[in-house]
């Protein structure tokens, strides 16, 4: 039992020590996971709807190598993203950052909601009120007419 417990405690350490090789770069499993998370957020400049991680283009492969080298060197995620943005512009980011150029983009859901509420409010206001219930005299006359 104690052996199994010890094994359970040590297993994550084993995972961390596992070595993988991607695009000719050898790194530990957690480093590879980090590198993939970064690459998934970057656009391949050659096939523009693919991420660097998913693309088969040779430039994407080179960029994957650079990401892994920088992960091994201990760079932060932000430093690696900045490295890419400095060279290729914000277009390289698959998720556009919040900045003056993208304000309209991020405001769009709220503008749509506001617009919808405005339309709903206007149509409620313009609704013709229901006619008052018929008086006794009216009802008698209606019965007369319908007979």
Partner 1 sequence: MTPLRRRLLFGLPLAAVVAGGAGFYTILRRMQSDQYDPHYLPSPLIGHRPPAFSLPGIDGAQGFSSTDIAAPPRPMLVNWFASWCIPCLQEAPMLGLLEKTGLPIWGIAYQDTAAALAGFLAQNGNPYQRIAADTSGLTAINWGVYGVPETYFIDRDGIVRSRWAGALTYQLIQEELNPLLAKYS
Interface residue list for partner 1 (CB under 8 A): 45-46, 48, 58-59, 62-63, 66, 85-89, 91
Closer by beta carbon to partner 1, 14 or else 122: 122
Query: Which residues are paired to 26 by β-bridges?
Result: 21
Distances (CA, A) of 131 to 56, 125, 139, 143: 70, 16, 14, 18
CB of 73 to partner 1, least distance (A): 15
CB of 24 to partner 1, least distance (A): 13
Structure tokens at 139: 């009802």
Closer by beta carbon to partner 1, 27 or else 52: 52
Cβ 28 vs Cβ 20: under 8 Å: yes
Closer by beta carbon to partner 1, 48 or else 135: 48
CB of 86 to partner 1, least distance (A): 7
If residue 109 lies in a helix (H) or strand (E), which one and from where to where?
A: helix 103-125
């Amino acid at each position: 039992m104690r052996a199994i417990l010890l094994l359970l405690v040590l297993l994550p350490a084993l995972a961390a020590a596992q070595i993988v090789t991607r695009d000719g770069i050898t790194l530990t499993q957690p480093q590879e996971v980090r590198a993939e998370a970064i690459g998934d957020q970057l656009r391949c400049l050659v096939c523009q709807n693919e991420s660097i991680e998913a693309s088969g283009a040779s430039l994407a492969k080179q960029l994957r190598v650079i990401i892994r080298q920088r992960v091994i060197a201990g760079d932060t995620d932000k430093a690696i993203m900045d490295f890419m943005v400095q060279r290729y512009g914000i277009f390289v980011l698959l998720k556009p950052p919040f900045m003056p150029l993208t304000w309209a983009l991020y405001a769009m859901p709220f503008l749509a909601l506001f617009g919808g509420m405005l339309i709903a409010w206007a149509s409620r206001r313009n609704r013709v009120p229901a006619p008052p219930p018929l008086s006794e005299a009216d009802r008698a006359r209606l019965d007369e007419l319908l007979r």
